[in-house]
A and B are shown apart, each in its own frame.
Chain A
Amino acid sequence: MSFYPYAVAAWLFVVGLWGIVASENLVRTVLCLTVVQSATYVLLLAVGYRHGGAAPIVADIPVHSRLVDPTVQVLVLTDVVIEATVSALLLALVVQGHKRFGSVDPQQLRALHD
């Protein structure tokens, strides 16, 4: 397995974090959060990849075929479900925030500070 998927995963994680830090729009912040999460998909799939491996559906291939690891694919599926839930919730909050604050710029959310 080459080094590239790991580099891509690390890049996605860091660039997503940078996007959240620098964002001036909460919709963009939420999208950057999904970029951070996609780093975990790439990493998990890379971990389970086997060179020349078939998809782990054993119904119509010989039993002793070389397969990629199905476990990480299940983990990615769970991860996707979590992402869908959290993104939906966050986007709903951003819409509501736009109604109440009249802005989606985190600078303009001034209800809480010390």
Chain B
Amino acid sequence: MSSLGALPVLVAMLGAGVLVASSAFIPRAGADALATSVTAGVLVLCALLLHRASQSPFAYWLGGWRPRGGVTIGISLSIDPMGAGVAMFAALLVLAALVYSIHYFEAVEGLFHGLMLVFLAAMAGFSLTGDLFDLIVFFELMSTVAYALTAYHIEERAPIQGAINFAITNSIAGYAMFVAVALLYARTGALNLAQIGAALDHHHADPLVIVAFALLAVGFLTKAAVVPLHFWLADAHAVAPAPVCVLFSGVMVELGVYAVARLYWEVFAGALAGHVAAVRAILVALGVATALLGALMCVLQRHVKRLLAFSTISHVGVMVCGIGLLTPGALAGVATYAAGHGLAKAALFMLTGVLLHRFATVDEYDLHGRGRGLRVTGVLFAFGGVLLAAVPPLTMFAGKSLIEDGAGRIGYGWLSVVCVLVSMATGGAVLRVAGRVFMGWGPSEGPDPAQARAAEERVDETRGQRDRTPWPMLVVPAVLLALGAAAGLVPGLVPRIASAAARFTDHPAYAAWVLHAARPSWPAAVAVDPSGSAVLAGVLSVVGAVAVAALGLFGRSLPQALPRAARERSRTALRAVRHLHSGHIGDYIAWWTAGAAAVGATCLLALR
């Protein structure tokens, strides 16, 4: 029965093989049908795993190499409710993206479907594995497929550059993690997460362990696009086809955050137990920087996909703050927040794809007023903006309030301000686009013509303009938005996420159920209602988002009210921040190296 654990990866991988092998013979409709049914099958398998793991988490040992007396040389899939839930979420988004792309691409070969299924297999394996080396191999597999999917429109210029930047940055992140694996293996002789964790429990955190922790964190936070390791994300998201962006923003980036939490709790929690405050400060600082820079850059964009990409960076910042608080409650908040964000952001990328499909551009000013006839698209797009603003009492608000209340209890109450700013900026930017494109509000001439050219270049994605939108391209995002809004309201769901987080963060119990096949019991989690201040922050966010949108639409003359010197200075500062995102891979890697060195040095100094 526990062999069920390997099936999601296996089924997706076999499906991909069949699709690629038969791509020359089967028609497009056959490839669509096969890919969607395989993905639906994986979704069902993940749901079964989630059901089973909710009763009791279990490990599946590949080839039957079980641990003897708590020592293992085998490789495990260690399946707990959190991991199974994340795999299921990935399968859900892949299914949505495949159904959406049936009508999105005119010409698409079986290779696209094959790549999507390998992507799914890698994400499922990444979520379920209990082995450090496998975690990194699945990371590499997921990344390599993602590079290929980013450059899917290989005849255009921008996708080539975006994919090169993405591939080099993420590969270096992977190599940093290989170094960490070598260090941890040298110290413990183990590769299984539970066994490394158990071995480190008996050591204090010496420099070798701290460097390994820093390298793993830097590696996975590169995938999660944390400042200053984030530069690849906007380039990759701006150029990848819309159904691929759905997966990048909806789940792949969040998997980086998931891995940091997994490694902290299952591997390092014992060794770093004396340094909780320092680890917390480091992660929260990274998260806050990411959240604020992402929010600022998001508001400044006029290329809609790039705007959504920076919005993802900003939300990831909030998630990193949440896991950085290192409490089960905040982790449950992050899981809820990530689910709400993933669904809303996926829908927004799909709706941006609708605009591209109709008008062959994603420039906000080029599209001024041209969406007036697209009522359904407009309403859905604006609703997506409201969701990103974390409107009470919907899913993202439920997650955000858990993070804020968790932060308040350990003296990080000021994080609420960051959360509100993120919601205001990211929600407001989307509402501004909705107002300009679908209502024709505000000026139609933009302040920065350079970005317009970037948005115009990518006209080929769906081969020219069209005058109607196939209905599945609207139904799929509508369903995702409905799910993204309502999931947090389903009675019992948030408490179940909270109990999954409690299992996830139980370091000794993890080793017990993985290595000793124990069946630990946990108290049932109880529903926690958001505090009054969280509700107030939620209302503030939505009002703020509308204000940001209104300012963006009608407030062009407002800076004139500032004194001339202040205006010039802020303009120069903004230009400097934007010029950091130069598109030059050498610059990006220089920033990556500086960021990795800073995180490593801070860890070495603070965790001694």
Contacts and interface: CB of A to CB of B under 8 A. Distances in A.
Contact of B151 (A21, A44, A93): A93
B145 to A, nearest CB: 10
A106 B168 CA distance: 12
B171 A86 contact: yes
A58 interface: no
Nearest to B140: A82
Contacts of B158: 111-112
Interface string A85-114: 110011001101100110000110111111
A98 B188 CA distance: 47
B206 to A, nearest CB: 16
A20 B165 CA distance: 11
B182 A72 contact: yes
A107 B584 contact: yes
Interface residues of B, number: 55
Contacts of A13: 175, 179
Contact of A37 (B154, B175, B300): B175
B603 interface: no
Interface stretch (B388-396, B439-447, B586-594): B586-594
Interface in A60-99: 71-72, 75, 78-79, 82, 85-86, 89-90, 93-94, 96-97
A72 B161 CA distance: 35
Interface string B133-174: 100010010001001100100111110111111011001101
Contacts of A9: 179
A93 B163 contact: yes
Contacts, number: 142
Contact of B168 (A90, A112, A113): A90
B593 A17 contact: yes
B174 A82 contact: yes
A81 B33 CA distance: 32
A33 B171 contact: yes
B204 to A, nearest CB: 21
A79 B290 CA distance: 31
A44 B168 contact: no
Given A89-B148, A90-B168, A100 B156 contact: yes
A47 interface: yes
Interface in A26-56: 26, 29-30, 33, 36-37, 39-40, 43-44, 47
Contacts of B151: 93, 96
Contact of A100 (B157, B162, B589): B157
A71 B74 CA distance: 11
B238 interface: yes
B161 A44 contact: no
B185 A33 contact: no
B239 A112 contact: yes
A26 B164 contact: yes
A26 B161 CA distance: 11
A96 B154 contact: yes
Given A20-B585, A36-B172, A97-B164, A112 B454 contact: yes
Contact of A89 (B147, B161, B585): B147
B178 A79 contact: yes
A22 interface: yes
B593 A111 contact: no
B167 A40 contact: no
B182 A44 contact: yes
Interface residues of A, number: 42
Interface string B567-608: 000000000001111111110011001000000000000000
Nearest to A45: B182
A44 B136 CA distance: 15
A21 to B, nearest CB: 5
A20 B171 contact: no
Contacts of B529: none
B583 A47 contact: no
Contacts of B454: 111-113
Contact of A114 (B179, B581, B593): B581
B558 interface: no
B181 interface: yes
B583 A113 contact: yes
B161 A111 contact: yes
B234 interface: yes
Given A20-B168, A112-B454, A114-B581, A40 B593 contact: no
Contacts of B239: 112
Contact of A112 (B162, B191, B580): B162
B186 interface: yes
A45 to B, nearest CB: 9
B178 to A, nearest CB: 4
Contacts of B175: 13, 36-37, 39-40
Contacts of A17: 172, 589, 593
B604 to A, nearest CB: 15
Nearest to B191: A71
B297 interface: yes
B178 A40 contact: yes
Interface string B284-302: 0000000000000100100
A13 to B, nearest CB: 7
B178 A29 contact: no
A78 B137 contact: yes
A105 to B, nearest CB: 10
A53 to B, nearest CB: 15
A22 B586 contact: yes
B457 interface: yes
B235 interface: yes
A112 B172 contact: no
Contacts of A106: 584-586
B9 to A, nearest CB: 16
Given A37-B171, A112-B162, A113-B454, 19 more contacts: A26-B585, A30-B168, A33-B168, A36-B175, A40-B182, A44-B178, A44-B181, A79-B178, A82-B144, A85-B144, A90-B167, A94-B164, A96-B151, A96-B160, A101-B157, A101-B160, A101-B161, A113-B583, A114-B300
Interface of A: 9, 13, 17, 20-23, 26, 29-30, 33, 36-37, 39-40, 43-44, 47, 71-72, 75, 78-79, 82, 85-86, 89-90, 93-94, 96-97, 100-101, 106-107, 109-114
6 contacts: A21-B586, A21-B593, A93-B164, A106-B585, A111-B157, A114-B306
Cβ-closest 8 pairs across A and B: A114-B581, A113-B583, A40-B178, A111-B158, A111-B157, A112-B583, A47-B186, A114-B578
